């Protein structure tokens, strides 16, 4: 397959919004026009909207992109107590209501993937499509039963060399979500500047293939 062309991320023409919810104000970097697409980063201090710096421009060519900073991260409000996964999911649904977004596609990285799974499970009417990137998930029997309830078409993408959540877990997630497909990016598809990266951020390490694969999925 022909390698996607390398396009340096410009991250131009973006809006910076603070969107109120009952949990606090969520900072989101917003760009593009079209159906809503919400990007949800993972756990840890290094995660901000810039987790998606190589993806926002490409995705904003076909969607109204919201690269959010979860409460407690970046410039979003700092709650007195850290929110759990379900509370973060509820806060993002409130963000959708505040922005008059009836339905959106959701992309979640790692722990963010588990958050958007929760939205798809509890608020199926709110979700068009789901993209899970090197995603955490509940692998217990009850957790897998919940994943089986997800109705949204789902794309699962993974870095073959992910050292935090090994790629074999991607196959379990793929089997648990009925209407899902799995794409595992091999080392030879890495961005040239990411050859030595340890993995787990497939949207950065394989941004060219990630953008191509996700764009095609969202356009189907």
Which stretch of DSSP H or E encloses residue 85? Answer: helix 85-98
Confidence band for 56, pLDDT divided at 50, 70 and 90: very high
Residues 66/98, Cβ–Cβ less than 8 Å: no
Q: Considering just the CA atoms, what is the radius of gyration of the chain in Å?
A: 16
Task: Mark 194-220 as b/e (b = at least 16 C-beta within 10 Å).
Answer: beeeebbbbbbbbbbbbbbbbbebbee
CA distance 183 to 29: 27
Confidence band for 9, pLDDT divided at 50, 70 and 90: very low
DSSP per residue over 201-220, as a string? -HHHHTHHHHHHHHHHHHH-
Confidence band for 8, pLDDT divided at 50, 70 and 90: very low
Task: Write the pLDDT tens digit of every residue in 106-143.
Answer: 999 999 999 999 999 999 999 999 999 999 999 999 99
Task: Write the pLDDT tens digit of every residue in 186-205.
Answer: 988 998 888 767 778 899 99
Single out the residue of 35, 127, 23 nearest to residue 76, CA to CA.
23
Residues 110/146, Cβ–Cβ less than 8 Å: no
Q: What is the CATH number of domain 19-219?
A: 3.40.50.1820
How far are the Cα atoms of 133, 177, 194, 214 from residue 217, in angstroms, in the given order? Answer: 14, 16, 24, 5
67 phi and psi angles, rounded to 5 deg: -90, 100
């Amino acid at each position: 397959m022909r390698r996607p062309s390398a396009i340096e991320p410009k991250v131009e023409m973006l809006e910076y919004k603070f969107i109120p919810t009952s949990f606090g104000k969520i900072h989101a970097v917003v760009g593009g026009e079209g159906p809503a697409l919400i990007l949800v980063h993972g756990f840890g201090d290094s995660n901000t909207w810039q987790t998606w710096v190589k993806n926002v421009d490409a995705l904003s060519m076909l969607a109204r992109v919201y690269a959010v900073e979860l409460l407690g991260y970046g410039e979003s409000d700092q709650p007195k107590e850290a929110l759990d996964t379900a509370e973060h999911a509820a806060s993002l649904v409130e963000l959708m209501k505040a922005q008059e977004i009836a339905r959106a596609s959701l992309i979640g990285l790692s722990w963010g993937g588990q958050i958007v799974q929760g939205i798809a499970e509890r608020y199926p009417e709110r979700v068009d499509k789901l993209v899970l990137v090197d995603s955490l998930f509940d692998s217990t029997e009850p957790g897998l039963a919940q994943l089986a309830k997800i109705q949204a078409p789902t794309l699962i993408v993974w870095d073959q060399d992910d050292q935090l959540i090994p790629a074999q877990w991607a196959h379990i997630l793929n089997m648990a979500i009925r209407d899902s497909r799995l794409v595992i990016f091999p080392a030879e598809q890495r961005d040239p500047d990411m050859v030595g990266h340890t993995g787990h951020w497939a949207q950065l390490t394989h941004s060219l293939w990630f953008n191509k694969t996700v764009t095609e999925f969202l356009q189907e």
